[in-house]
Chain A
Amino acid sequence: GEDVEQSLFLSVREGDSSVINCTYTDSSSTYLYWYKQEPGAGLQLLTYIFSNMDMKQDQRLTVLLNKKDKHLSLRIADTQTGDSAIYFCAEISGTALIFGKGTTLSVSS
């Protein structure tokens, strides 16, 4: 079945760039997503990319999609302590989302 894989932890220093990686299996996914979950909070849609795009930039966020390798990445420029959270990669399968296990990003000052 469909599966989404992510590394579990990433630790960076404030001001550095963070890169969170994800691989997925459903080549028919039309959209791929990045969600952010802060402690005790719900899921916040950060950004998404359409499957026919290679890159999408939105302020400090850059999403790269390698469709051949089914690899998705999220780059956060100038990472701040407020970026500390769990980041979930998700692909759409039919009408619902398949999530990865989430990457915990820890930002130290």
Chain B
Amino acid sequence: SAVISQKPSRDICQRGTSLTIQCQVDSQVTMMFWYRQQPGQSLTLIATANQGSEATYESGFVIDKFPISRPNLTFSTLTVSNMSPEDSSIYLCSTGGGHEQYFGPGTRLTVT
């Protein structure tokens, strides 16, 4: 199984600012995923990030708002840009393939 860590674990940010969330995996992985979990809701996929190519965004999510980097096979970042209170969520990094899908502990973001 993959062990995934995320930084920061939580943050409180002012509207209009940006936050970059880091995701580190303890092994090389092909695909990494970013999910959002809004308060009391389920998880929604934001984008899929493969190393060496542009991230693929799901409907309702755009690169200008959620730019993603994937510089190597163990690391990815997600930036939440120009934040508003509606961006207050838990952001989770995930990786896996086949039957194995593992998640990081999440970054709890509050926008005031």
Knowing A31-B98, A31-B99, A95-B97, say if A41 contacts B105 (CB, 8 Å). Answer: yes
**How far, in whole Å, are A35 and B43 apart by their CA atoms in the complex?**
11
Write out, one digit per residue, whether chain B residues 22-53 have a CB within 8 A of any chain A CB (1) or not (0): 00000000010100000001111100100000
Q: With A43-B92, A101-B41 in contact, is A95–B103 under 8 Å at CB?
A: no
Provide the bound-state CA to CA distance between A90 and B105, in Å. Answer: 18
Contacts of A33 in B (CB 8 A): 101
Q: Are A42 and B103 in contact (CB under 8 A)?
A: yes
Q: Name A's interface SS.
A: strand
Minimal Cβ-Cβ distance residue in B for A41: B105
Contact of B43 among A92, A95, A97 (CB under 8 A): A97
Within 44-79 of A, Cβ neighbours of B (below 8 Å) are at 45, 48, 50
Evaluate contact between B99 and A96: CB separation under 8 angstroms.
Answer: no
Which residues on the B side are within 8 Å of A48 (C-beta)?
A: 99
Interface contact A95-B31, CB-CB below 8 Å: yes
B103: A residues at CB distance < 8 A: 35, 42-43, 45
Interface centre among B44, B97, B103, B105 (most CB of A within 10 A): B103
Determine how close the nearest CB of chain B comes to the CB of A7; give it in whole angstroms: 13
Q: Which residues of A contact B (CB under 8 A)?
A: 30-31, 33, 35, 41-43, 45, 48, 50, 88, 90, 92, 95-102
Residues of B within 8 A of A (CB): 31, 33, 41-45, 48, 92, 94, 97-106
Would you list the 5 A-B pairs with minimal beta carbon distance, nearest first? A42-B105, A43-B103, A99-B42, A101-B42, A99-B43
